[in-house]
Amino acid sequence: MEMKELVALCKKRGFLFQSSEIYGGLNGFWDYGPLGVELKRNVKNAWWEDMVSTHNEQKQQPGAPSTYEMTGLDCTIIMHPQVWKCSGHYDLFHDFMVDCTESKRRYRYDQLRGRWVEAKGQRVFILGDPACENWDETIHARAMKFFNLRAKDVSELKFDEHLLSLEALNHDFTQVLAPEAKHLGTLTPPREFNLMFKTIVGALGSEEDAAFLRPETAQGIFVNFKNVLDSTRVRIPFGIAQQGKSFRNEITPRNFTFRSREFEQMEIEFFCHPETSRAWYEFWRNYRYSWYEKMGLSSDKLRLREHDAQELSHYSVGTADIEYAFPFLPEGEFGELEGIAHRGDFDLRSHAEGKLINRNGKLEVELNENGKPKHRGSGKDMSYFDDQTRERFIPHVIEPSAGADRATLAFLCEAYHEDEVPDENGNMTKRISLRFHPRLAPIKAAIFPLVKKDGMPEIACKIYDEFKKHMPTFYDEKGAIGRRYRRQDEIGTPFCITVDSQTLTDGTVTLRDRDTLQQSRIPAENLLSEIQNKLK
């Protein structure tokens, strides 16, 4: 599948639209249409149900060191500015960017890739366009244009075998052709670009009233840690889950909804004893990976990648990414779906003591030129007292952090399927179907009367009314039955129910499966329970 086919289907069938499209759109922002909002809601609901609401704290999960509790929060998007100073976002939350002095475009330094190309005695590093899916195709086209070659002269181009990141050039851009430039050496040296959106709280609008849209939901959980302890009976180990909007001022948002400026997160902060934290990290890493498999992502497109030492944050004890082979990436490459981080006691200590830095392998409060904390913490006690062991300690934190939008995109990519099936005349025709896991499908069942007469619409409407009380259901009586099936296949409806002439005699209906195309006769009175069992 090519990504453009999925993007076209998403717009055609109302899954996703470009934000403010009638005004030309706004880069990095996307609107979910009638079917998309149901799909994304189902992804979030499945995550919340499996991680929080149906979790049995009395039953030990396979691979877990012990039983544990789960609870939830819903924190504000705008928080006290000191939260982001103590967390490190104010000083450290940035990407490196480069500007093109010719095209006036800005690019993320780590996202630019190119090849060394030689022709007419000149060797040039030509960058592809990060907005395009096929790097080699754009680099080849730009090389032909730069060297002013015709199609018959293509053999004059000599490409280095490997596609390289711009970072590999160590800031020497003299022989670099930027993505939309005509001349060499137009890129500036990389510089830091803060990713937080700034806003003003209050009516005066002064710099003292500056605040930020949160770049992650996690900090709301950390600053409420004591509130949760004091207002509930949770005991360590336990997790606090949250879903919500986050905002990052990405330099070059791209690849559909994969990298956006406004997105939704599904995060857990899991608090545990320092001595058991490694075991809990391994549990959550494997548990979250298996969830994506259970929800329908194929194992050959999914991988669990442990970060090496150079990738780890200054506070991280260990981090692993769950990654998916998105179709917009080069073959063999994977994009991050979810990160599972062993954060140690960094976050709770930071909000108690002040912003921490790693000095000689030890986390210490960063001091200013006067020897005072650069960013002061709250001064609140963030420790935990175990009334059974009589031990007081600062818990370690394991953070499984998933993107609801990236997960939704991955499920869309995985679900897209093309095959050939016979039409109403027996001729083989191309069929596009979205093979979602039934729990994720926007519409669970479609109800059809075979024809609009003989009492069939009345029976179908009665079934529709019963189903509508329990699940998203669609009613359709227009067009040939085969075409109605195709329309539902294309939006991912797992089950179609047809009322036909046999229904009038024995009370059974035809139940059709989207993926296998198998049809079976089911008594109408058993239909709802039958479908509900298939949706589990």
Distance CA 311, CA 112 (A): 19
Distance of CA 31 to the CA centre of its chain: 15
Model confidence over 146-156: pLDDT tens digits?
999 988 888 88
Q: Which of 51, 17, 43, 22 is nearest to 32 (CA)?
A: 17
Distance CA 409, CA 36 (A): 10
Measured between alpha carbons, how far is residue 29 from residues 19, 35, 204, 259, 280 in Å? Answer: 6, 18, 29, 9, 36
Hey, what are 92's tokens?
Answer: 């450290």
Share of the chain above pLDDT 70, in %: 99
Distance CA 285, CA 249 (A): 28
* Beta strands per DSSP E along 100-237: 106-108, 113-119, 122-127, 158-159, 164-165, 176-177, 191-194, 197-200, 210-213
Pairing mode of beta strands 122-127, 191-194: unpaired
Residue pair 320/401 in contact by the 8 Å Cβ criterion: no
The sign of the dihedral angle between the CA atoms of 322, 326, 328, 333 is: positive
Across the chain, mean pLDDT equals: 92
The whole-number average pLDDT for the span 205-223 is 90
pLDDT at 210: 87
Model confidence over 491-529: pLDDT tens digits?
999 999 999 999 999 999 999 999 999 999 999 999 999
Model confidence over 318-350: pLDDT tens digits?
899 999 999 988 888 899 999 999 999 999 999
The residues, any chain, with a CB within 8 Å of residue 193's CB and separated by 6 or more, are: 94, 95, 96, 97, 249, 251
Distance CA 46, CA 38 (A): 12
Distance CA 249, CA 288 (A): 28
Least confident of 76-90, 304-318, 453-467: 304-318
Distance CA 338, CA 331 (A): 20
Return the exposure string of 235-247: e unless at least 16 CB atoms fall within 10 Å of the residue's CB, then b.
ebbbbbbbbbebb
Position 168 pLDDT exceeds 90: no
The whole-number average pLDDT for the span 16-24 is 93
Distance CA 527, CA 493 (A): 16
- State the Rg of the chain over Cα: 27
Distance CA 84, CA 494 (A): 45
Measured between alpha carbons, how far is residue 488 from residues 47, 199, 327, 447, 448 in Å? Answer: 25, 44, 24, 10, 11
Position 205 pLDDT exceeds 80: no
Task: Name residue 71's beta-bridge partners.
Answer: 240
Q: Is 89 helix (H, G, I), strand (E, B) or coil?
A: helix
Residue type, position 57, single letter = E
Backbone angles phi, psi at 126, to 5 degrees: -100, 125
Confidence of residue 133 (pLDDT cuts 50, 70, 90): low
Backbone angles phi, psi at 402, to 5 degrees: -115, 150
